[in-house]
Amino acid sequence: MAGINGVWHKTSVQAVYEQRESYSTTSLAGQKRAYSTEEPPLFSRPSVPAVTRSASLPSGLPRLTASSVTSHGAALDNHPSEYSQRKAIQSTPTSTIDPFLSLSHPTYALSGPLVENLASLGIKSIYPWQKSCLLAPGLLTGEKNLVYSAPTGGGKSLVADVLMLKRVLEEKGAKAILVLPYVALVQEKVRWLRNLAAGLTKCVDSADDDDNKRVWRRRADDNTVRVVGFFGGGKVKATWADFDVGVCTIEKANSLLNTAIDDYSVKDLKIVVLDELHMIDDDHRGYLMELMATKLLTLPQRIQIVGMSATLSIIKLLSSWLGAHSYETRYKPVPIEEHLVYESHVYPAATTSDLLKTVSKLNAALDATQHMNAIKRIESSTHRELKDPVLNAVVALANETARAGYGVLVFAGSRGGCESDARLIARVMPQPDEIDAGLVDKRVDLLVELRSLSTGLDPVLEETIPSGVAFHQAGLTTEERELIATAYDNGVLKVCVATCSLAAGINLPARRVILHNARMGRDFVGPSMLRQMRGRAGRKGKDEIGETFLCCRKNDLEQVVDLMHADLPQISSCLNTDKQRIQRALLEVIAIRLATSRDTIDEYAAKTLLAASGDLGLVRACIETSLDNLLTLGFVTRDSADNYSATQLGKAIVASALDPDDGIFIHQELERALRGFVMDGDMHLLYMFTPVQDFGINVNWRVFRNEMEALDDSGHRVIGFLGIKRAVINRMVHGGAPKESTPEEEQVMRVYRRFYLALQLRDLCNEMPIHVVARKYDVPRGTVQTLSQTCHGFGAGMIKFCEQMGWGIMAAALDHFSDRLRAGARADLLDLAKITFIKSRTARVFWENGFRSVAAVANADPKELIPILMQAQPSKVRIKAQESIKYEDKLLAKAQVISNSANRIWQLQMQQDLEE
């Protein structure tokens, strides 16, 4: 795959920009506004200082000087500077040498428009390993499954993309599903595939062709390939009929497949791609991959299964289980040099011999020769802040690379570590007055974009971005992470500090990857995670090599060496873990009627990874125990012929995509609510929409008590109904520990934690901004946003649960309230909140300025909306005279999107009125 430098799918605002004269983003700034503060109209707003182009570090944080990184003389000849072009790198063969490296070759039988789209996105030829993989027998025709492994950045996604689009384009009505573990990856992949499939239509039979061969045409009609994303919190309620290529999170894919099997629409499914297949042994989420794959193997129709990963350890077992062709390569288009940083010295760690030799010398601890294998030395720092040799090494290595003009990705072990590292690195970087004015403008523009978000500007980012440094972790909102990732990818930011846990969920390659340590929190990361982090080094088309530096403390040396040398862990099934996932597997296949007799259930179980890798006797024992448990719990029934069927409760649990354990809890909660639902307030409904997962959040019991005491009469009846006791909360406030020694006590504390999250959800629905909610409950903003997004999908599951149980009134009440959750606003704003960009705080500002209906917004001149949008900004902004036109042009683009959206909705409303 040649360099990928294509243009991503455009957002609505970007599309408006292209219709107008291009302009540069202006640089504006202001001060944060308290949530409760009401702003005057735009033109009477008091002025505040604006950000200038000479933005610098805040006072009180003096500049630091990074330690120098010097090469050892003996090693200099063997290890030339990584920034030189003297390193000999073997070039990748081209299609002029090997015609099969061109996807236009007749063997691949790809449509001409698809090949053109690939070329327009920078893919003019493929790698030799991709050729070998695609040309394996039966893959291009969909007759054979595939399991393959390739390093991060090695081009593995292209193989799956080609196979998916080939099936969709060639077979009438064909659908493809791509499964990814994280929402961010789903969103990124949707953008990529929409560009790849732009203008493509499915094949049709040509009556004019004597040989009746299939031909491909570009047509602007309903036959174009539709790419749709499915993930929790998604704004589009897409169905099976709405896509040709569905890009899904693991949970959404499993739910989508269950529905398709149950209503027989699965016949159109031709290919399923499981990305990050190594996650199959993750007991929390990954086991759903095994459930999906086993269902696909059990279906009587032929569905091609493609599994891929950068960190597969037992590819033969997985390929045997799936009946698949296997392929494994270690090819990476940009070579990577790996290093160990220990005691301020850098050692080569690329091969086993280098690693063992290094450890041998270090353990010898000989004063004269202890560092003879080192290729670099990091000088000690004179600054108190950089006395720690590990921290000093991280800062020095990041500074060296960034000053040379390359991108650096630093992995820290915690969210707090991310912010701390970013602040220190920023203090050694070139300041705005030392770099190109154009780059300074772009960084200030980034600050403006971040400041204009509903959450306002994070103070640490405000401090670090002028120096080209930012952090990227789950505590930030999705919008903040996207802006930072884009700025880093475009070279506006030179250093990005991320948490280890985001290594697999981000696509931020770098010239140099630095691991502050090998820990995630207090625990060491695993070999798979280490490979994910180090695999981010090297950017095709931007860097001639990539580098990784793992910094190690003296006490961790032995464990770190073992970790760097460790083989990937063996993957195993999670169906027989302590959580007994096999119960969910059996409940699902019984509920969707894929396997209902004991014989068909045994056949299904025999196709699991558990059966492929374990003792069949153990599998049969697990099935027997699990079926008995499902009968005892009332999820299934068995007739005299030994046939199983799901009960109403069992069907409700599967329809709502719940784990059986969560299903029991939800059933008890809803059943109790039916006997005394508190309808004269919102609190009970909000509680029902609150996900049962606690997101690992720590309850601030003092805040809990304050919020509980401030509840109205309706809210107090809810906490009484739920069994929440003030004495328990008071005990927690004074340092008491939750009692969770028994299952009953665990369930009680689950109610407390869920209600604490419901309080946050209440504030969001009452138009309190995310950053204010986060500050109030002492949680990261990203966590609050995740709660806001997750409650939509969870609420939809609750509605399905009630419908399956025959609780129509409860389902109707939840369905009516779901619009408020999605809008993040009170009931009077729901109509306005249907318009693009008008949600929560913005909707309230429109309402207060007289725009109280969709028709009012639709009939307004977009220029009239500019002052309203300015007033809705979370920061007070004073516009410089020379910048006012540019800034108004930017707001006008957003206003035009709003106007267009309002007009579409208004026309639909008028049409419905006429039909009625």
pLDDT on residue 356: 57
Q: 73 falls in which pLDDT band (50, 70, 90)?
A: low
pLDDT on residue 332: 82
Q: What is the mean pLDDT of the chain?
A: 81
Check for a shared fold between 99-328 and 336-565. yes
What share of the chain has pLDDT > 90, as a percent?
38
CATH of domain 660-824: 1.10.3380
Q: Which of 200-209, 447-456, 855-864 has the lowest mean pLDDT?
A: 200-209
Tell me if 538 sits within 8 A of 336, measured CB to CB.
yes
Concatenating the DSSP letter of every residue in 477-541 gives: -HHHHHHHHHHHHTTS-SEEEEEGGGTTT----BSEEEES-SEETTEEPPHHHHHHHHTTB--TT
- Please state the rounded mean pLDDT for residues 153-163: 91
Residue 652 has pLDDT above 80, yes or no: yes
For 661-671, letters b (16+ CB in 10 Å) and e give: ebbbbbbebbe
Q: Where are the alpha helices (DSSP H) in 824-874?
A: 840-848, 854-858, 862-872
pLDDT on residue 219: 40
Q: Which of 537-541, 660-664, 780-784 has the lowest mean pLDDT?
A: 537-541
Q: Report pLDDT digits (tens) over 371-380.
A: 667 888 899 9
pLDDT on residue 877: 45
Tell me if 475 sits within 8 A of 783, measured CB to CB.
yes
Give the CA angle between residues 698, 704, 708 to the nearest 5°. 155
- Nearest CA to 553 out of 411, 676, 718, 388 is that of 388
**99-328, CATH topology level:** Rossmann fold (3.40.50)
pLDDT on residue 519: 80
Q: pTM for this structure?
A: 0.82
Rounded CA-CA distance 252/238 in Å is 11
> Between residues 879 and 393, which one has the greater pLDDT?
393
Residue 324 has pLDDT above 90, yes or no: yes
- Nearest CA to 473 out of 152, 788, 153, 780 is that of 780
Tell me if 792 sits within 8 A of 839, measured CB to CB.
no
Q: Where are the alpha helices (DSSP H) in 710-861?
A: 713-722, 726-733, 743-765, 770-777, 781-805, 808-823, 840-848, 854-858
Q: 293 falls in which pLDDT band (50, 70, 90)?
A: very high
- Please state the rounded mean pLDDT for residues 100-119: 92
- CATH 3.40.50.300 applies to domain 336-565: yes
Q: Which of 6-10, 357-361, 755-759, 817-821 has the lowest mean pLDDT?
A: 6-10
Residue 50 has pLDDT above 70, yes or no: no
What share of the chain has pLDDT > 70, as a percent?
82
Q: Is the dihedral of CA 907, 908, 909, 915 positive or negative?
A: positive
pLDDT on residue 210: 43
Rounded CA-CA distance 648/629 in Å is 16
- Please state the rounded mean pLDDT for residues 376-386: 91
User: Which stretches does DSSP call E strand in 118-200?
Assistant: 145-149, 175-180
Q: 26 falls in which pLDDT band (50, 70, 90)?
A: very low
Residue 818 has pLDDT above 50, yes or no: yes
pLDDT on residue 222: 62
Query: Which of the 8 DSSP states describes residue 875?
Result: E
> Between residues 99 and 912, which one has the greater pLDDT?
99
Residue 366 has pLDDT above 60, yes or no: no
Q: 89 falls in which pLDDT band (50, 70, 90)?
A: very low
Residue 32 has pLDDT above 60, yes or no: no
Q: What architecture is the 581-646 domain classified under in CATH? A: Orthogonal Bundle (1.10)
Q: Give the relative orientation of helices 287-298 and 581-591 as an angle to the nearest 10 degrees.
A: 40
Q: Which of 343-357, 644-658, 720-734 has the lowest mean pLDDT?
A: 343-357
pLDDT on residue 722: 92
Burial class (CB in 10 A: 0-12, 13-18, 19+), 396: buried
Q: 174 falls in which pLDDT band (50, 70, 90)?
A: very high
pLDDT on residue 355: 53
Residue 556 has pLDDT above 70, yes or no: yes
pLDDT on residue 470: 95
Residue 487 has pLDDT above 90, yes or no: yes
pLDDT on residue 333: 83
> Between residues 88 and 741, which one has the greater pLDDT?
741
Q: 830 falls in which pLDDT band (50, 70, 90)?
A: confident
pLDDT on residue 326: 93
Residue 534 has pLDDT above 50, yes or no: yes
> Between residues 74 and 669, which one has the greater pLDDT?
669
**Could you give the C-alpha distances from 61 to 138, 434, 463, 671, 755, in angstroms and in order?**
63, 18, 10, 58, 41
User: What amino acid occupies position 658?
Assistant: L
Residue 31 has pLDDT above 90, yes or no: no
- Please state the rounded mean pLDDT for residues 390-395: 94
- Using only C-alpha atoms, the chain has a radius of gyration, in whole angstroms, of 29
pLDDT on residue 886: 55
- Please state the rounded mean pLDDT for residues 764-778: 87
Residue 796 has pLDDT above 60, yes or no: yes
Q: Which of 13-27, 625-639, 828-842, 867-881 has the lowest mean pLDDT?
A: 13-27
Residue 58 has pLDDT above 60, yes or no: no
- Please state the rounded mean pLDDT for residues 665-671: 91
Give me the residue spans of the domains in the chain.
12-49+834-915, 99-328, 336-565, 581-646, 660-824
Sheet-wide strand order for 345-348: 69-71, 376-378, 345-348, 336-342, 546-552, 512-515, 408-412, 495-499, 469-472
pLDDT on residue 887: 62
HEC-encoded secondary structure of 255-302: HHHHHHHHCCHHHHEEEEEECCHHHHHCCCCCHHHHHHHHHHHHCCCC
Residue 465 has pLDDT above 70, yes or no: yes
pLDDT on residue 414: 86
Q: 635 falls in which pLDDT band (50, 70, 90)?
A: very high
Residue 358 has pLDDT above 80, yes or no: no
- Please state the rounded mean pLDDT for residues 436-462: 84
Q: 363 falls in which pLDDT band (50, 70, 90)?
A: low
Q: Report pLDDT digits (tens) over 243-272.
A: 999 999 999 999 999 999 999 999 999 999
Q: 829 falls in which pLDDT band (50, 70, 90)?
A: confident
Residue 411 has pLDDT above 60, yes or no: yes
Q: Which of 220-229, 296-305, 442-451, 512-521 has the lowest mean pLDDT?
A: 220-229
pLDDT on residue 464: 93
> Between residues 14 and 102, which one has the greater pLDDT?
102
Q: Which of 41-45, 517-521, 727-731 has the lowest mean pLDDT?
A: 41-45
- Please state the rounded mean pLDDT for residues 94-107: 82
Query: What is the helix (H) or strand (E) element at residue 581, kind and residue range?
Result: helix 581-591
pLDDT on residue 337: 86
Return the bridge partners of 247, or none.
178, 229
Rounded CA-CA distance 74/287 in Å is 51
Which residue is listed with tokens 């068909």? 600
User: What amino acid occupies position 258?
Assistant: N
- Please state the rounded mean pLDDT for residues 7-27: 40
